[in-house]
Structure 1
C-alpha cells in the first residue's frame, strides 16, 4: 500500500480508483477433475470457417465419457487446417461429393453474410448522409 503525505498528523492510504481494492487478493478458480466427452466426427452446421472447407463438428450422442483428475495446467487451443478437416471428414465416411455440397452450402452462407454486412453499411451511410444534410439545412436557416 502506498502512503501519501497529508496535512493531517497521520498519513492516509492512497485510494484506488478501481472498484476492487488494490490490496485484496485476486480470486482464482481451479478445477481438480475434468470430464471428457468423446463424439463421432461430423460436419459442423454451426461452425462457419473462413475458407470453403466444411467445419468439423460433433455427431450423435457421446460415445465415451471419462472423468480424470487434473494435475498439470493445460492451456492450449487447437485449430484444424483445411487439410486436417478434409482428412477427418473423409475418415468419418463423408464422400468427396458430400464435401463438395457442404462447401457450396458454406460459400452460399458466407456470401449471404457478406451481403447482409454490406447492406447494413450502406443503410448506415445513407442515414448518416441524410442526418448531415438535415443539419446543414438547419444551419443555413439559422444563419
Structure 2
C-alpha cells in the first residue's frame, strides 16, 4: 500500500517526513517609545552628501502605548526630508555643509579601504593560483 500523503521521493525511498516542530511565537502587549530631539547622526552614513538624521541628547519624553496587531514598516528619509528636519532642528546651511564635507571624507575613506581589500584579495588569489600551477607542473 502506498501512502498518498507522502511526497513522491519519500514514497520511493521509504523515508518518512520528519515531524515539524511547533511554531514558537512571541507577542508583546505594550511598547515604550523614547522621543529625542533631532540632530546630525555621526553613526548614519547615507550614500548621498546630505547628513544623516539622528538622536540628540537625552530623551525628552517617554510614552507607553498598547501594541497594534497590524504590521508596520519604517520608511527611510529622502535627502529633502533630512534637510528639512535638520533645518527645523536649528542647523544652519553652514553646519550642514561642514557635515557634508565630513561625510564625503568618510565615504572616500571607506571606498579606499574597500579598493585596498579587493586589490589584496586579487593578489593573494593570483599567488595561490601560481603556486597551484607550479605544483601541478612538478607533479606531472
Give the TM-score range, shorter chain. Answer: 0.7 to 0.9
Distance 1:13 1:33, change over 3 A: farther
2-side partners of 1:99 and 1:106: how far apart? 10
Provide the TM-score with structure 1 as the length reference. 0.85
Structure 1, unaligned runs of 5 or more: 7-11
Provide the TM-score with structure 2 as the length reference. 0.86
1:68 to 65, 70, 75: 65
1:100 to 85, 97, 111: 97
The answer for the alignment partner of 1:9 in structure 2 is none
How far off its partner does 1:25 sit?
2.5
2-side partners of 1:101 and 1:5: how far apart? 69
Aligned-residue Cα RMSD (Å) equals: 1.9
1:127 to 121, 124, 132: 124
The worse-fitting range, judged by mean Cα deviation, of 50-59 and 69-78 is 69-78
The number of equivalent residue pairs is 132
Structure 2, unaligned runs of 5 or more: none
1-side partners of 2:109 and 2:120: how far apart? 16
